[in-house]
Structure formats: C-alpha cells, structure tokens
Structure 1
Amino acid sequence: MDAIVERMPRRDDDSNKDSAVKRPTQEEAEAAVRTLIAWAGDDPAREGLLDTPKRVVKAYREFFRGYEEDPIEVLSRTFEDIGGYDDIVMLRDIDMNSHCEHHMIPFIGKAHIAYFPTERVVGISKLARVVEIYARRLQTQETMTGQIAGAIDVALKPKGVAVMIEAVHQCMSLRGVQKPNVATVTTQFTGEFKTNPALQARFLELIRMNSGK
C-alpha cells in the first residue's frame, strides 16, 4: 500500500487572481520558453526545439484553463424534482491532475465528493467539472480540497459536503527526496458531514469499498 500523508486544507476564498494579472502576449510567452530552454543548456534554435515554445504555450493554455471558468456558475443550474430522495449524493474516483504552485510540476490522483442535498440537486457531471476547474490552476492540494467543498457549499446550500483528494506529487517523486508513489490525502467536511461522525465514516467507507482497501 502507498504511504499516506494526511493534511488538512486551509480554506481560502475562491478569487480568480488571474483577473488582476495582465497576461503576456503569445509572443512574449514563447520568448520565455526559449529563455528557459537556453537556461537549461540547450539551443532554442536547434531543429528539434524550434516549435517547442509554441507547443509549450499551447499546452499551458490547456493545463491552466480553469482560470477562465467560474465553478459557482457551473453549479447554478439545479433541479427540484428529486422524487423525495433524502440521502447523500456521491461521486468517487474522479480522475484529476493539477500543477503544484511551488514547482509547477504535476500532481495526479482522484477526487471523491459527496453532498447531502436539501431540496435541489445538481447534474452529477457538474460536480466533476468543478474538480476540473480548480485542478486546472496552479494549486496546492490542500487549497483545492477546500475550494471544491466551499464552492459546492455556497452554490447548493446543502446539509453538508464531503471532499477527499488522494494524489501523488511529482515534485516529491522526481526531485527533492525523490520518493515515488507516496499518496497525499486531504479531506474537507462541512455541515452535517463535519458534525455527524457516522455520516463522515459512511463517506470514508464508501470510498474504501470501491478501492478494495
């Protein structure tokens, strides 16, 4: 079994800091990549690297597209017709990958989300999309866990929210202590998930049932 490091997330406001930042032009971004190639010790004018700046900038636009999306807006369309359903809604094993804000190196894993609806529910794909929006930003896993829970709490006003993220950080696998396959686990609970230990335990047990642990 992977070694597990548990950390509790800090709760930050979901502010899109990108709106206050003047983005460089495409040409400026590509020039920055050429500078990094030269700094690494290679020739950016070498045939194999000529188109690399353009490819890197295109990849970064995909990696960090979450800055251009609003998770609250994604969760805004809800449904009242739930046929008297009165229990938790859970999505588990949502594949996610993000980039550590300290080294800009990927961390890859899965997110598990549950919420206890009041009178309305949201389309389940929207919950996965909220994970994707926050993952596609420079992040720490702790912050992202809190942001996901906070967005669902604000948008849906449920009885409670539970979020767990399990991820392997390449900044720990490929550099520094170079310890691969160490899973970092973060959790965030709100409302009844936080105050009701039995409900919290049920959420964790549903995750374990699926993983076989």
Structure 2
Amino acid sequence: MSLLQETGERITASLPDRRSENAVAELLLALGQDLDDPNLVETPRRVAASYRELLRREALTMTTFPNEEGYDELVLVRDIPFTSLCAHHLLPFRGVAHVGYLPGARLLGLSKLARVVDHFAHGLQLQERLTVEIADYLDAELMPNGVGVVLEAEHLCMSIRGALAPTARTRTSRFTGALASHGRDHFLTALRDRD
C-alpha cells in the first residue's frame, strides 16, 4: 500500500510496490526492451499494479438464508464472467462460469455465486483447479444436496502463442452430491436451454 501524507497525497511507493516495479523493469531489460522509450517509462508501475490486482483475493463471506419453503430444485447462475492468470505462463485466461446447487437447509444470496467465482479466479490458477476450488468451497460452506460447476475459457497461452488456436475453448466441470450421482444431465440440459 502507498505511504500517504496526512493530506492523502501519495508521496512514494511502499517497499513491496517498488520491488515489484523493479522486477518488471528487470524483466523488460532482460527481454531487450528500452526503458528509456517514452512508451515504456511507466510500464513497470502499470504492469506491477495490474498483476497485484489480478493476484489479490479479497475476503469472501457467504450470505445464506433459511430454506423455509423447502426449495429443492436446481439453482443455476449461467455465464458468470471471470478472468484468471495461467500459473504456467502468467497469461490471462478468461471465460464464463456456470454455477449451480441443489439447496439443502440454506439458500445462498445469488450474487455470492459470482463472488465465489471471482474470489478463486484471482491468483495464479489452472482452470481445472479453479473448477474444483469453486465447487468444493460451495459444497463445504453451503452444505447443499449437490453442486455443479462448469467453466468454459479461452487461454491466451494457447491462442496467442504456442498452438496458436484462437478459437479453442477449454471446458472443465465438477459435480458433487446428488448432481454427481444423477443430476449432471439435468444441470447440463439447463445450460443448453437458452432463452
């Protein structure tokens, strides 16, 4: 965090900020870039700030409500956008998450499904691990009758380099409880049923 004067004006970057900016500058120099180029003067600061934002996980709290009506059908939120960083290449992968659950004793505030996806997307990730973390967290915290998570994403490490497959999308899924045993087809059918 920046050191602040009493007036709230920034006077200097803190040590972690300066270290990350220096590391980016060193990387650019090692890759043969000219840091005196006017377009690159602020790049180390900008890149370091971008990575800090993408890697920082905010605290996550669940808002649940008693399931007084005994609702037992699938609750599904589709097309939750997310962006994460590939742990292997430090390049973004982005796509959509489809997250649902079969309620037990508690219902979840709907916006929390998107917040859970966002929370676990921050950091260096693998899509497979991200899928499992979202599902297992919801399963443990909500204790529903089942959880389903399907992620579909484009990986820049595959679309702009390497295989050069810009239209390829990767799909991963995780199902727990009743959705794993006999509700998977219902979940996937609900994804295909578009308005």
TM-score (norm 2): 0.88
Q: Distance in 2 between matches of 1:202 and 1:154?
A: 22
Counterpart for residue 157 of structure 1 = 143
1:207 aligns with 2:176: no
Tell me by how many angstroms 1:46 deviates: 2.4
- Which among 64, 86, 95 is matched to residue 81 of structure 2? 95
* Contact 1:82/1:121 (<8 A) preserved: no
Tell me by how many angstroms 1:69 deviates: 2.8
- Which among 59, 62, 65 is matched to residue 50 of structure 2? 59
Counterpart for residue 44 of structure 1 = 35
- Which among 119, 124, 142 is matched to residue 128 of structure 2? 142
- Which shifted more, 160-169 or 33-42? 33-42
- Which among 164, 176, 181 is matched to residue 162 of structure 2? 176
What SS does structure 2 have at the residue aligned with 1:189? strand
Q: Distance in 2 between matches of 1:120 and 1:206?
A: 22
Higher Rg: 2
Tell me by how many angstroms 1:81 deviates: 5.0
Counterpart for residue 69 of structure 1 = 59
- Which among 170, 173, 176 is matched to residue 187 of structure 1? 173
* Contact 2:67/2:104 (<8 A) preserved: no
Q: Which has the larger share of helix?
A: 1
User: Which amino acid counterpart does residue 53 of structure 1 have in structure 2?
Assistant: P
State the number of aligned residues.
Answer: 181
Q: Distance in 2 between matches of 1:98 and 1:83?
A: 37
What SS does structure 1 have at the residue aligned with 2:27? helix
Tell me by how many angstroms 1:82 deviates: 4.3
Q: Distance in 1 between matches of 2:67 and 2:142?
A: 15
Aligned-residue RMSD, C-alpha: 1.5
Q: Distance in 1 between matches of 2:166 and 2:16?
A: 37
By relative contact order (CA 8 Å, sep 6+), the higher-ranking structure is: 1
TM-score (norm 1): 0.81
Tell me by how many angstroms 1:33 deviates: 0.7
Tell me by how many angstroms 1:65 deviates: 1.8
What SS does structure 2 have at the residue aligned with 1:145? helix
Consecutive unaligned residues in structure 1, runs of 5 or more: 1-23
Q: Distance in 1 between matches of 2:171 and 2:109?
A: 26
